[in-house]
Amino acid sequence: MGTLYELAEDLMDSVRQQALQSDIALPARQIIYMTPIPPDCEQVAVMFNGWTLYPETGQIQTCMTSQWMAGFSVIITRCTPAVSKNPKNPIPGSELMGAAALIASTDAELFRDIVGAMSGFMSVTIAVQAPSGGLQTVELDISIPGI
Task: Read off the pTM.
Answer: 0.88
CA–CA separation, 18 and 3 (whole Å): 23
> Which pLDDT belongs to residue 92?
85
The stretches in the chain having pLDDT less than 70 are 1, 56-64, 147
For residue 91, the model assigns a pLDDT of: 84
Whole domain around residue 46: which residue ranges? 4-145
Query: What confidence tens digit (pLDDT) does each residue in 89-128 have?
Result: 778 889 999 999 999 999 999 999 999 998 888 889 999 9
CATH number at residue 60: 3.30.2000
Number of domains in the chain: 1
Of the candidates 19, 48, 27, the one whose C-alpha atom is nearest the C-alpha of residue 144 is 48
